[in-house]
Amino acid sequence: MIENVFSGSDVSEFRFWMGWADRYVILTHMGPDGDAIGSSLALCHYLRSKGKQAVVLVPDSAPDFLKWLPGADEIKAYSDNPAASDEMVSKADVLCCLDFNVVSRIGNIASAFLYSKAKKFLLDHHPFPGSYFDVILSHPEASSTSELVFHLICALGDFRSMDLNMAECIYTGIMTDTGALSYNSNYSSLFNIVSHLLDKGVDKDDIYRRVYNNYSEDRLRLQGFVLCEKMQVFRDKSTSLITLTDEELRRFNYKKGDTEGFVNMPLQINGVLMSAFFREDKEQGIIKLSFRSVGDVPCNRFSSEFFHGGGHINAAGGEFNGTLSEAVDCFLKGLDVWSGSSEECIRRLFVK
């Protein structure tokens, strides 16, 4: 039996829209990850199964390691055709916003989104959802937005007709947002969902291999370089920092997605409680920031206090406008400010 985690009125509003709305555009965040793409494609398959026109529109394209997902070849990237994308957004009846909480996370799609008269539906698990949405289903306690898509389909009474395409996309999102069920996943109802997905025919071992054992040689060598030469460990601060310049990335023929997971690696070191990874992005003219932490150390607060970023308590990110060395200075200053904090969860970072 699947518990309905949504309040009746929120889902009935979406159900009501489904009575008249035909055109759905599903939007997700810049630099889409497995949960962004998995949840979006799962909802897209579901809406199509209900006879709706549905398309997934992302600000920039998905990384190669997600391209095998059913329906991934039909995803539209805003950057490939801005005019057609704007038109799609303006003509939509419903804009489904998945796996992001604030409009700035959809980059160049934001202005078409704000102008659109479509109904705006947010389904997400990031804390602090922004405004601009007509219906908000925000569940920060959920492992992933993909888990919430599973709940949505069930709440709409369609668990039985959930097909293998939907199930594979949902499982991929759950798996990638929980490090293959190794964090953010300590509750039995999630395993109940996984069990239902296996019953639908999902081959979880195969999905694991497709996502995690499918790297290029360049990527693996870049990982070696990072661990050997680029990872700084600040033992007295229980913290680690990895930086990569554009020049270093090019040396290893960097492709989108190649640095996925790097930020998690220093957390394998005994005593490291927070890890940061800064990547120079020459194309966008920014430094892309990623933070990870363990337990009650709030890396989302670190990201928002010092970089105007955000995210979950143990996984956060942001963008820095400036040089890589300025970003590093800001990071070190942030650690200094935090070291003066009397809060227990933060103080733990500075225990020698």
Q: Which residues bind ligand 5GP (CB under 6 A)?
A: 31, 33, 126, 263, 290, 309-312, 315-319
> Pick from Mn ion, ligand 5GP, none: which does 316 bind, CB < 5 to 8 A by kind?
ligand 5GP
User: Which of 5, 29, 31, 35 lies at the binding interface for Mn ion (CB under 5 A)?
Assistant: 35
Least Cβ distance, residue 58 to ligand 5GP (angstroms): 14
**Nearest residue (beta carbon) to ligand 5GP:** 317
> Pick from ligand 5GP, Mn ion, none: which does 226 bind, CB < 5 to 8 A by kind?
none
Measured from the CB atom, the residue of 202 and 318 that comes closer to ligand 5GP is 318
Measured from the CB atom, the residue of 71 and 318 that comes closer to ligand 5GP is 318
- Amino acid code (one letter) for 344: E
- Rounded CA-CA distance 205/135 in Å is 36
DSSP string, 120-185: EEEEE-SSS--SS-SEEEE-TTSS-HHHHHHHHHHHTT-STT--HHHHHHHHHHHHHHTTTTTSS-
> Pick from Mn ion, ligand 5GP, none: which does 126 bind, CB < 5 to 8 A by kind?
ligand 5GP
Measured from the CB atom, the residue of 127 and 334 that comes closer to Mn ion is 127
In the shown chain, the binding pattern of residues 150 to 179 toward Mn ion, with x for contact by CB under 5 A and - for none, equals: ---------------------------x--
CB 302 within 8 A of CB 308: no
Measured from the CB atom, the residue of 134 and 281 that comes closer to ligand 5GP is 281
Least Cβ distance, residue 313 to ligand 5GP (angstroms): 10
User: Which of 60, 93, 99, 319 lies at the binding interface for Mn ion (CB under 5 A)?
Assistant: 99
β-pairing, 274-281 vs 119-124, is unpaired
Least Cβ distance, residue 313 to Mn ion (angstroms): 13
Contacts of 28 (CB under 8 A, 6+ apart): 36, 37, 39, 40, 56, 58, 97, 98, 99, 100, 106
